[in-house]
């Protein structure tokens, strides 16, 4: 449970820090996830938003360029989709939907709808294409992540309906449908984090093949090696959420630092 | 072996075609949503904002300008506002821009969507250079045009007697009263909206609108002969005559054209 609790603490405290800056004037982290100012000096920007701006034909200022660079390097080191499981506010919504889905046993009775994990890369490509064609930041204008995050800090409007759509999509249509299949930001961060250092490592010697990890994992494909071979999870799609680690009773899964030297040796 | 290769290739082509088709439909739906953002241009942006098309490209929707504003003038468009999502705007009738001399909302913008240079002269920030919009008077609803004395907008204007001036006229109906009509000077008006906020009529009779919506342009053909500075524009004017459909014919033919008259 400790990882789940620390993830929730991270997610909620990031939102609270932003709210504190806007509502109560405690200026530690100002702005929102699209672009912010840490301690009034360090710029932080969403690299995907900046990429869309660049494609749309906007002149990129030094501030957001540096901000995007900091964020890119940060997630390239610790695993891109760590954003998804440790920061993104939509993650709380979809996790709730998936928890409810497991409790109600919907996956067991539902006829599976086939969706490709690659849809997110198509959506990613489409966001850039539409940004270019229409001269807008295409995904930013409809992104439920931004809508929820902005809504919490600056006022929600009808934003809650967008969040509910995603909740019910994940609950009733497809398990982990939004985060695991559609969201282009997740796709973007899985590309960034492809070679990141922090990785989940699997040890077959300890594994008893109970497959609890696969039940709980939002990106089951990344755990293909479970019970077969000892290796680290290499796919960028892994969100480093550590749920597999927590659920494993055999201590077969753990965080590790990817070692490029070891990999070359074997 | 050969056969299975064929079916793999077919499967692949079919899969790609399906994905491309789905993406095409998705793009169509998505772009129609975005289309609204492009055309919802009747809104007021913070001071120093780039023109609407560049603004939409450049704004990163972080809300730093919103939290910098001490008067809670600026809002970020939320779903349901029918405005480009996440971008800052203000509604002058609700809360106008109070024209802070240090313009806190502009330098804080990280993406340059609010351009510091456009509100700076000689390295000093000058809010009076802002062009958020321009005020427009409805002379039929404005009670000052009826002859009832009201100078609420004139008094509320931070550029008193510059952006809004009073035009005096004799009230012919009574023969012994005066009209004090508010007239906006668009070159000076910043579009802060304090006049709209102060207007005492049920619905404001003076409204701030985006400049590009309201402002006209005479073109280089017309020059104020009595204005030395304006005469210099003649030098910039390109030669040539405007050709319209009717000017292709001779003037006499055009005047004698009776087609359609006797039917």
Q: Considering chain B, what percentage of its residues have pLDDT values greater than 90? A: 30
| CB of B83 less than 8 A from some CB of A | no
Task: Please list every residue in chain B whose beta carbon sits closer than 8 Å to the beta carbon of residue A71.
Answer: none
Per residue in A196-211, pLDDT (tens digit) is: 888 888 888 888 888 8
Q: Taking 90 as the threshold, does the pLDDT of residue A133 lie above it?
A: no
Q: What is the mean pLDDT of residues B192-218?
A: 90
Angle between helices A62-78 and A184-192 (to 10 degrees): 70
| Distance to chain B for A188, nearest Cα, Å | 17
Q: What is the mean pLDDT of residues A168-191?
A: 87
Between β-strands A35-38 and A42-45, what pairing exists: parallel, antiparallel or unpaired? antiparallel
Q: Which residues of B138-153 are buried (b: 16+ CB within 10 A; e: fewer)?
A: eeeebebbebeebebb
Least CA distance to B58: which residue of chain A? A58
| CB of B84 less than 8 A from some CB of A | yes
* ipTM of the complex model: 0.81
Neighbours of A197 (CB within 10 A): 14
Split at pLDDT 50, 70, 90, the class of B27 is: confident
| CB of B148 less than 8 A from some CB of A | no
Q: Do B61 and A136 touch (CB under 8 A)?
A: no
pLDDT on residue A265: 45
Split at pLDDT 50, 70, 90, the class of A266 is: very low
Which carries the bigger pLDDT value, residue B203 or residue B123? Answer: B203
CA–CA distance, B60 with B111 (Å, rounded to integer): 7
Across the A:B interface, residue pairs with CB atoms under 8 Å apart total 147
Interface mutation target, options B55, B79, B106, chain A, most CBs of A under 10 Å: B79
CA–CA distance, A149 with A151 (Å, rounded to integer): 5
| CB of B214 less than 8 A from some CB of A | no
Q: What are phi and psi of B88, to 5 degrees?
A: -80, 145
What is the Cβ-side half-sphere exposure of residue B35, based on CA atoms within 13 angstroms?
Answer: 7
* Pick from A41, A94, A81: nearest CA to A63: A41
Q: Taking 50 as the threshold, does the pLDDT of residue A140 lie above it?
A: yes
Whether the CB-CB separation of A222 and A264 falls below 8 Å is answered with no
pLDDT on residue B200: 92
Task: Please list every residue in chain A whose beta carbon sits closer than 8 Å to the beta carbon of residue B23.
Answer: 122, 125-126
Q: Do B63 and A58 touch (CB under 8 A)?
A: no
pLDDT on residue A136: 84
Whether the CB-CB separation of B74 and B90 falls below 8 Å is answered with yes
Least CA distance to A33: which residue of chain B? B62
pLDDT on residue B3: 56
Among A53, A129, A161, the residue with its CB nearest the CB of B57 is A53
pLDDT on residue B24: 82
**Dihedral through CA B8, CA B12, CA B13, CA B19, nearest 10?**
160
Whether the CB-CB separation of A21 and A30 falls below 8 Å is answered with yes
Q: Taking 60 as the threshold, does the pLDDT of residue A263 lie above it?
A: no
Of A36-40, B182-186, B195-199, which gets the smallest average pLDDT?
A36-40
| Distance to chain B for A254, nearest Cα, Å | 36
| CB of B21 less than 8 A from some CB of A | no
Angle between helices A2-19 and A144-154 (to 10 degrees): 60
Supply angle C-alpha B26, B28, B29, rounded to 5. Answer: 70
Q: Taking 70 as the threshold, does the pLDDT of residue A70 lie above it?
A: yes
Task: Please list every residue in chain B whose beta carbon sits closer than 8 Å to the beta carbon of residue A153.
Answer: 63
Which domains does chain A show, CATH number per domain? 2-191 (no CATH), 197-265 (3.30.70)
Q: Do B30 and A46 touch (CB under 8 A)?
A: no
Split at pLDDT 50, 70, 90, the class of B35 is: confident
Report the mean per-residue pLDDT for chain A. 84
Of A9-13, B101-105, B231-235, which gets the smallest average pLDDT?
B231-235
| Distance to chain A for B74, nearest Cα, Å | 10
Interface mutation target, options A52, A58, A155, chain B, most CBs of B under 10 Å: A58
Q: Taking 90 as the threshold, does the pLDDT of residue B138 lie above it?
A: yes
pLDDT on residue B208: 94
Report the mean per-residue pLDDT for chain B. 85
Between β-strands A253-257 and B120-121, what pairing exists: parallel, antiparallel or unpaired? unpaired
Q: Taking 60 as the threshold, does the pLDDT of residue A262 lie above it?
A: no
Q: Do B26 and A30 touch (CB under 8 A)?
A: no
Which of A170-184, A189-203, B197-211: highest mean pLDDT? B197-211
Q: Which pTM was predicted?
A: 0.79
pLDDT on residue A40: 79
* Pick from B171, B151, B172, B147: nearest CA to B160: B151
Strand (E) or helix (H) holding B127:
none
Q: Taking 50 as the threshold, does the pLDDT of residue A89 lie above it?
A: yes
| CB of B139 less than 8 A from some CB of A | no
Q: What is the mean pLDDT of residues A29-52?
A: 86
Q: Considering chain A, what percentage of its residues have pLDDT values greater than 90? A: 3
Split at pLDDT 50, 70, 90, the class of B184 is: very high
Among A63, A129, A158, the residue with its CB nearest the CB of B110 is A63
Q: Considering chain B, what percentage of its residues have pLDDT values greater than 70? A: 94
Q: Do B64 and A155 touch (CB under 8 A)?
A: no
What is the Cβ-side half-sphere exposure of residue A90, based on CA atoms within 13 angstroms?
Answer: 30
Per residue in B65-85, pLDDT (tens digit) is: 988 888 889 988 887 777 888
| Distance to chain B for A242, nearest Cα, Å | 30
């Amino acid at each position: 449970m400790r990882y789940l609790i620390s993830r929730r603490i991270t997610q909620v405290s990031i939102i609270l820090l932003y709210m504190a800056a806007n509502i109560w004037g405690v200026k530690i982290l100002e702005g929102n996830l699209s672009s912010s100012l840490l301690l009034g000096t360090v710029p932080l920007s969403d690299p995907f938003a900046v990429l869309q701006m660049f494609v749309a034909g906007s002149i990129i200022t030094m501030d957001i360029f540096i901000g995007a660079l900091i964020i890119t390097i940060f997630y390239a080191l610790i695993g891109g989709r760590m954003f998804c499981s440790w920061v993104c506010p939509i993650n709380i919504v979809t996790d709730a939907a998936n928890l409810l889905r497991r409790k109600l046993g919907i996956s067991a009775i539902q006829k599976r709808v086939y969706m490709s994990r690659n849809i997110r890369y198509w959506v990613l490509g489409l966001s850039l294409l539409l940004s270019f064609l229409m001269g807008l930041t295409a995904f930013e204008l409809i992104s439920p992540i931004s809508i929820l995050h902005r809504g919490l800090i600056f006022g929600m409007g009808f934003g809650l309906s967008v969040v509910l759509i995603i909740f019910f999509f994940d609950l009733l249509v497809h398990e982990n449908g939004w985060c695991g299949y559609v969201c282009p930001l997740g796709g973007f961060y899985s590309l960034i984090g492809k070679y990141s250092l922090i990785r989940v490592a699997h040890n077959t010697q300890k594994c008893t093949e109970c497959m609890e990890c696969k039940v709980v994992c939002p990106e089951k494909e990344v755990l293909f090696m479970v019970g077969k071979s000892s290796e680290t999870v290499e796919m960028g799609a892994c969100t480093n959420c550590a749920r597999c680690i927590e659920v494993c009773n055999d201590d077969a899964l753990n965080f590790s630092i990817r070692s490029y030297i070891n990999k070359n040796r074997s | 072996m050969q056969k299975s290769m064929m079916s793999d290739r077919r499967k692949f082509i079919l899969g790609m075609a399906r994905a491309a088709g789905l993406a095409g439909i998705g793009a169509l739906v998505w772009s129609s949503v975005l289309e609204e953002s492009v055309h919802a241009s009747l809104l007021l942006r913070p001071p120093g904002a780039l023109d609407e098309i560049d603004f939409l490209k450049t704004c990163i929707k972080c809300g730093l300008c919103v939290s910098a504003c001490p008067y809670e003038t600026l809002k970020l468009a939320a779903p349901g506002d029918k405005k480009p999502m996440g971008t800052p705007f203000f509604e002058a009738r609700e809360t106008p821009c109070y024209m802070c001399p240090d313009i806190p909302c502009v330098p804080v913008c990280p993406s340059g969507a609010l351009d510091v240079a456009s509100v700076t002269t000689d390295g000093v920030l000058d809010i009076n250079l802002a062009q958020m919009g321009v005020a427009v008077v409805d002379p039929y609803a404005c009670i000052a045009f009826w002859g009832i004395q009201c100078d609420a907008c004139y008094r509320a204007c931070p550029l008193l007697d510059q952006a809004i001036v009073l035009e005096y006229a004799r009230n012919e109906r009574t023969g012994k009263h005066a009209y004090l009509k508010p007239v906006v000077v668009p070159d000076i008006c910043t579009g802060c909206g304090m006049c709209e906020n102060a207007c005492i009529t049920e619905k404001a009779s003076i409204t701030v609108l985006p400049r590009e919506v309201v402002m006209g342009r005479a073109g280089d053909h017309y020059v104020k002969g009595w204005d030395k500075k304006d005469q210099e524009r003649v030098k910039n004017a390109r030669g040539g005559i405007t050709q319209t459909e009717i000017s292709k014919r001779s003037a006499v033919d055009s005047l004698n054209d009776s087609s359609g008259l006797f039917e």
